[in-house]
Chains A and B, each alone.
Chain A
Amino acid sequence: MDDTKSTASGAGQPAPAARTSYEPRPKNGPGGRRPGRFQGPRPPRVCPFCAQKSKVIDYKNTDMLRRYLTDHGKIKPRRKVGTCARHQRVLAGAIKRARHIALLPFVSEATRGE
């Protein structure tokens, strides 16, 4: 419907991008949030570590671990990355090990001011 209208009304304005997928957001229950307030991008619904089969989180895999750090080098909260409680705990341990052997920063270089 939108498409036909925009072609008919002429080339003056480009048609607004069609919203391809619209799903109503759950207002409560697990993963639900308070309506009427912007709360940022939603994390994936399933824990990324439960989704994958491998049972251990390797502290030497820094590329993977870096995804769970903020730009400052802090560990991202569960609400941002969507990990389950158990895996968040294991992940935190792996990050801390990686920090000990200087594979990951405690504080990022930019924040340290170097």
Chain B
Amino acid sequence: MPYELVYIVRPTLDEQALATITEKVDKFITAAGGEIIKREDWGKRRLAFPIAKFTEGFYSVLQINLAPTAVRQLERNLKLAEDVLRYLVTRVETA
């Protein structure tokens, strides 16, 4: 199933830490048997409202292919990753 994942990472991280998180998220997906079709990093962006006292965050948008049963595991992993402030997994409607 095609899904779209958006997540926001803490703005306080340096480039290296950000790369580590990126890799970690990629691993969440591949470990769950999914594949990344496209990755789009928006960079640091202002949040519409503060989250955990942060007013900015690193945005990433991923197009992924994942088994429906694996979504739960992916969401659980993202929830447990402390550097990820928010995430959103949506199904991409295929028309």
Could you list which residues of chain A lie within 8 angstroms of chain B, going by C-beta atoms? Answer: 55-56, 59-60, 97, 99-107, 109, 112
Contacts and interface: CB of A to CB of B under 8 A. Distances in A.
Contacts of B59: 101
Interface residues of B, number: 15
A76 B59 CA distance: 27
A100 B86 contact: yes
B48 A102 contact: yes
B62 interface: no
Interface of B: 6, 8, 47-49, 51, 57, 59, 61, 86-88, 90, 93, 95
Mostly, the A contact residues are loop
Given A60-B6, A97-B88, A104 B93 contact: no
B8 A101 contact: yes
Contacts of B87: 101
Given A60-B6, A60-B61, A99 B95 contact: no
A30 to B, nearest CB: 29
Contacts of A60: 6, 61
Contact of A102 (B47, B61, B93): B47
